Structure 1
Amino acid sequence: MKTKVIKVLGAALLALAMPLAAQAQAWPAKPVKIIVPFAAGGATDVVARLLAQKLSEGWGQPVVVENKAGAGGNIGADAVAKSPGDGYTMLMTSGSIVTANPHMYKTLTYDPAKDLVAVTNVATGPQVIVVHPGVPAKDLKEFIAYAKANPKKVNFGSAGIGTQTHLAAENFAFAAGIDITHVPYKGESAALTDLIGGQIQMATPNLAAAIGHIQSGKLKALAVTSKARNAQVPDVAAAAEALPGFENAGWFGLMVPAGTPADVIDRIQKDSAKVLLSAEFREKLAQQGMAPVANTPSDFAAAIREESGRWARVIKERNLTAQ
């Protein structure tokens, strides 16, 4: 009798365990959402949509990109931080959100270090210093001279306070010794629209967001912020040619809410890396002036911590704060 009871209980436990195992193996069993914390059309959005399409094909589930812009990316990041930790909501972050914003903003409604978990750094690429075609400068040296002759009169746009596109311009202004005025937007695409329209004079968007406008002649590119020239815009100088040693790179990565199961994180990372390192995707990123990274969660987390420490020092030295 005792043996029979044990067998019945064992069968019951096995029956309960099987759906749970099947559920874990079946992830994703429903649509997945990638939140982009900026308006559509910027580099973060471009990268997210390229990756979402390929992940959707591999997973057999829709991977939907949702834009939640505002507060330098904090609104979208907060939405992900407060989502269930089940792998069905991910954040396509730009580097500044999790490395600079914690030091820029006096109060945050979430803690990037505790509420978000690194999955993989997706891609990296330079910013580009662009001006309205009417600005009287044919290269970076002439622009620096123009800005010095007109302190505070050059307005530059960004994707928001504390974003990569804001900090790239601050880094450039500091290195060049110029005094320019910041005009924040809810995304770099909005800043570029006003730059093309002549409402502002300069911006330092990610190259991926500006390359089409540069190639069409709507914007004048003065320099890329990488150490060397970029193959997609070979005629555009590197900023280091006018400012020796200057470099400012941007990056975009996937993060998930804290509590997401380790096996789901591992699945997302490995499937993303497979896409990112494929010849087809490398070419798509190259067309945007970017390169894939596809590192592990632990390596990505370590890189975030290291960069956060660097931004903490820079932000304190330059007194860059936000409400």
Structure 2
Amino acid sequence: MIHSPLRRRTLLAGAALFALQPWAYGSIAAQGWPSRPIKLVVPGPPGAGMDIFARLIAAKLHAALRQPVVVENKPGANSLIGTDAVAKAPADGYTLLFTPSSAIAINPIIQPRMPYDAAKDLMPVAQVGASGILLVANPSTGFKRLADLVRYAKAHPDKLVYGSWGNGSTGHLVMEGIKAHYGVSMQHIPFKGSAQLVTDLLANNIPVGFTDIASPVPHIRSGKLVALGVTGSARGPALPDVPTLAEQGYRFDKDGWYGVFAPAGTPPEIVQRLNQEINRILSTEDVIQQFSLQNMPRPPIKSVSQFAATVRQDIDAWQNLAKVAKLQID
């Protein structure tokens, strides 16, 4: 259920804790790591954009670390289930999280009862890509751009439904912001992931929705789906003709991201090693090309502290949007 007012909770204190995590103080050297397989938890289902990128990074880390990096999908509750599993895992470098920004920067804002405290229980390791998300429609709607959707929603209050990959997802929050900005009403249907949402968009079981940046690309190219726009600061490389929502008049242009996190207390040597290896992987032409094919811009290269700063900034930006949208999840 969505209701108002938004609870502020302890966001400022939580954001500040990202600057005070154990990596800043050093730790006992993690000798011999890794000596066994590493588990990379993905808090979403197989087949969606997050899973695609996680498996790409896992395969490259396997080669770099000479130990298997096994992807384990734990979908559900807008990434809460998988994220919580890692937050409560041993801080030994053998359980990592590959997550969208929503699990870290948005869930604490709109979820009144969190099973984990992202600021206290998780450590940023490396940012893996930054991009917007796609606003996609079934061609039967006749929608071509955001203005068409807004026009229809104004003429048919509460008749239009839209999907996202979960309550509290970036797509959910952005669309609620759009509703508030344009003064329209639509009903939200949460899915368990972008893959399921794209399937229902193709079947015309739902007319429009926000998906990840990659999953619907082949269907958009084939004409089976229509991209109305993309959030974030730039157009996607695989769909250069699809304008950003900012270009279309909706000015919120915050990028989402994927990131790797570790349980709080993981030795800083391990965190630093992972950051260096992941950044090296992201710098290779092979990976840059694979990101482009999946409609992702060239991945940013950030240190642990730079990524932690990004997390803090995003908490502020998404909190402001949540206030405008008056969004909170029960």
TM exceeds 0.5? yes
The aligned counterpart of 1:129 is 135
Give the alignment of 1:149-228 within 5 angstroms: 149-228=155-234
Letter in 2 for 1:271: E
Tell me if structure 1 keeps the 8 A contact 2:127–2:302: yes
Q: Distance in 1 between matches of 2:223 and 2:179?
A: 24
The aligned counterpart of 2:21 is none
Tell me if structure 1 keeps the 8 A contact 2:173–2:327: no
Q: Distance in 2 between matches of 1:226 and 1:109?
A: 29
Q: Distance in 1 between matches of 2:95 and 2:261?
A: 9
Runs of 4+ in 1 over 6 A off after TM superposition: none
| Residue in structure 2 matching 1:96, options 87, 102, 107 | 102
Tell me if structure 1 keeps the 8 A contact 2:102–2:169: yes
Letter in 1 for 2:53: V
1:318 paired to 2:325: yes
CA deviation profile, 1:7-37 (whole Å, cap 9, x unmatched): xxxxxxxxxxxxx97xx44321111111111
1:114 paired to 2:109: no
| Residue in structure 1 matching 2:306, options 287, 292, 299 | 299
Measured after TM superposition, the shift of residue 233 of structure 1 is 0.9
CA deviation profile, 1:162-214 (whole Å, cap 9, x unmatched): 11222232233333432221101111111111111111111111221221221
The aligned counterpart of 1:49 is 55
Tell me if structure 1 keeps the 8 A contact 2:75–2:82: yes
The aligned counterpart of 1:4 is none
Tell me the secondary structure at the aligned position of residue 265 of structure 2. Answer: coil
- Report which of the two structures shows the higher radius of gyration computed on alpha carbons: 1
The aligned counterpart of 1:87 is 93
Tell me if structure 1 keeps the 8 A contact 2:99–2:259: yes
The aligned counterpart of 2:5 is none
Letter in 1 for 2:55: R
Measured after TM superposition, the shift of residue 49 of structure 1 is 0.9
RMSD (CA atoms): 1.8
Percent identity (aligned): 39
Provide structure 2 residue ranges, at least 5 long, that are not aligned to the other structure: 1-27
Measured after TM superposition, the shift of residue 63 of structure 1 is 0.9
Q: Distance in 2 between matches of 1:67 and 1:239?
A: 31
Tell me the secondary structure at the aligned position of residue 141 of structure 2. Answer: coil
| Residue in structure 2 matching 1:263, options 259, 269, 276 | 269
Inter-CA distance 239–306: structure 2 relative to 1 (3 Å threshold): closer
Letter in 1 for 2:123: V
Measured after TM superposition, the shift of residue 231 of structure 1 is 2.7
Letter in 1 for 2:44: F
The aligned counterpart of 2:19 is none
Inter-CA distance 250–65: structure 2 relative to 1 (3 Å threshold): same
1:61 paired to 2:61: no
Q: Distance in 2 between matches of 1:244 and 1:106?
A: 28
Tell me if structure 1 keeps the 8 A contact 2:126–2:275: yes
Q: Distance in 2 between matches of 1:97 and 1:52?
A: 20
Measured after TM superposition, the shift of residue 104 of structure 1 is 0.8
Tell me if structure 1 keeps the 8 A contact 2:232–2:256: no
Tell me the secondary structure at the aligned position of residue 162 of structure 1. Answer: coil
Measured after TM superposition, the shift of residue 244 of structure 1 is 5.5
Inter-CA distance 308–109: structure 2 relative to 1 (3 Å threshold): same
The aligned counterpart of 2:291 is 285
TM norm structure 2: 0.86
| Residue in structure 2 matching 1:27, options 30, 33, 39 | 33
Tell me the secondary structure at the aligned position of residue 163 of structure 2. Answer: strand
Q: Distance in 2 between matches of 1:288 and 1:174?
A: 31
Letter in 1 for 2:311: I
Higher helix share: 1
CA deviation profile, 1:253-285 (whole Å, cap 9, x unmatched): 000001110100011100000001111111111
Q: Distance in 1 between matches of 2:191 and 2:73?
A: 14
Tell me the secondary structure at the aligned position of residue 93 of structure 1. Answer: strand
Tell me if structure 2 keeps the 8 A contact 1:136–1:146: no
Q: Distance in 2 between matches of 1:85 and 1:32?
A: 12
The aligned counterpart of 2:255 is 249
Q: Whose RCO is larger (CA < 8 A, sep 6+)?
A: 2
The aligned counterpart of 1:239 is 245
Tell me if structure 1 keeps the 8 A contact 2:132–2:233: no
Letter in 1 for 2:313: E
Tell me the secondary structure at the aligned position of residue 72 of structure 1. Answer: coil
